[in-house]
Amino acid sequence: MAIYAFASAGGSPGVTTTVLALGSVWPRPVVVVEADPTGGSAVLAGFYQGMVDQPGLIQLVMAHRRGQLAHTLPSLLRGIEGTQASVLVGTRSHDQSVGLETLWSPLLETLRRLEDNGQDVLVDAGRLGLVGSPMPLLVGADITTVLVRSNLTAVSAARSWVQTLKDRSAGQLGVVVVGGGRPYSSREVASALDVPLIGDVEWCPEAAAVFSEGAGYPRPGGLSRLAGRAATKERFARSGYVRSVTTAGDVLRRQTRSVLTPEVMAQVKDGVQ
């Protein structure tokens, strides 16, 4: 079991969308942590369409101050129907991001305990460099993945951050390209960033909207439109978009190395303080 962190350097490649999609196809229990400090939880506003009022990270800040972080975390997890994933939603306002800075290191230790219970963790760290960014989670993860689009602007923005993460991360580092071939291939992007290629998520806004906006499954054309919801859901599960996400998840799990030792974890904590 392992902790996987995901972030972008710019270009809005869809970190939250991809992490939720990964959680939906993860083959064992997994916790999705919305650690994006931007505020205005994209999970609540997008995936749940504003229809859910779910406590999350800010409640963990208060629990940590009371010395009850590990005890409180499980009660804040919301299961995602039809999957083995549960989600810890993020902040409602960017003003809360400053208060999160004291939470990240102790939260990393608490998430490690979930590993002991057989749960993986997927961390949506949002965009790199923001105030309140969860750098301890990024550099303490078993695998940190930078999401990037395949254009020159996105790759240029990612290069310096990739080097920073190389210098500071205790785990492995990789890249997921969202929409390879627009215009550069995924392998060209990974080569330019000099990191292993984890996956190439298909560019399909209609399919991605299932996770980013809580949209219904894309309806097929022709006579297939007569198919019921179960058949439509099954078709979506076999789509190129979902297959590409599933493949990236398979690669991540294969790449996972052993859990960090206490000595390495101490070095990570010293490096981010």
Q: What digits encode the pLDDT tens for the residues 69-105? A: 999 999 999 999 999 999 999 987 777 777 788 899 9
Strand, coil or helix: what is 124?
A: strand
Q: What is the arithmetic mean of pLDDT over 142-161?
A: 96
pTM of the model: 0.89
Flag whether pLDDT at 53 surpasses 70. Answer: yes
Flag whether pLDDT at 132 surpasses 90. Answer: no
Provide the percentage of residues in the chain whose pLDDT is more than 90. Answer: 68
Q: What is the arithmetic mean of pLDDT over 153-161?
A: 95
Residue 91 lies in a domain: yes
How many domains are there within the chain?
Answer: 1
Q: What is the arithmetic mean of pLDDT over 255-270?
A: 48
Flag whether pLDDT at 199 surpasses 70. Answer: yes
Flag whether pLDDT at 5 surpasses 90. Answer: yes
| Rounded distance between C-alpha atoms, residue 119 and residue 80, angstroms | 15
Q: For the range 72-75, what are the long-range contacts, defined as Cβ-Cβ under 8 Å and sequence gap of 24 or more? A: 73/110
Cβ(15)–Cβ(132) under 8 Å?
Answer: no
Range of the domain at 235: 3-267
pLDDT band at 264 (very low <50, low <70, confident <90, very high): very low
Q: pLDDT value at position 220?
A: 67
Among the ranges given (18-27, 47-56, 175-184, 215-224), the one the predictor scored with the smallest mean pLDDT:
215-224
Residue 272 lies in a domain: no
- Label the pairing between strands 3-8 and 120-127: parallel
User: Which has the higher per-residue pLDDT, 36 or 265?
Assistant: 36
Strand, coil or helix: what is 171?
A: coil
CA distances from 104 to 70, 107, 134, 167 (A): 13, 5, 6, 19
Computed on alpha carbons and rounded to an integer, the radius of gyration of the chain in Å comes to 18
Flag whether pLDDT at 216 surpasses 50. Answer: yes
Residue 273 lies in a domain: no
Residue 160 lies in a domain: yes
Flag whether pLDDT at 185 surpasses 80. Answer: yes
Among the ranges given (38-52, 222-236, 238-252, 254-268), the one the predictor scored with the smallest mean pLDDT:
254-268
Residue 243 lies in a domain: yes
Provide the percentage of residues in the chain whose pLDDT is more than 70. Answer: 89
Residue 13 lies in a domain: yes
CATH number for position 48: 3.40.50.300
Residue 188 lies in a domain: yes
Q: Quick: pLDDT tens for 16-43.
A: 999 999 999 999 999 999 999 887 788 9
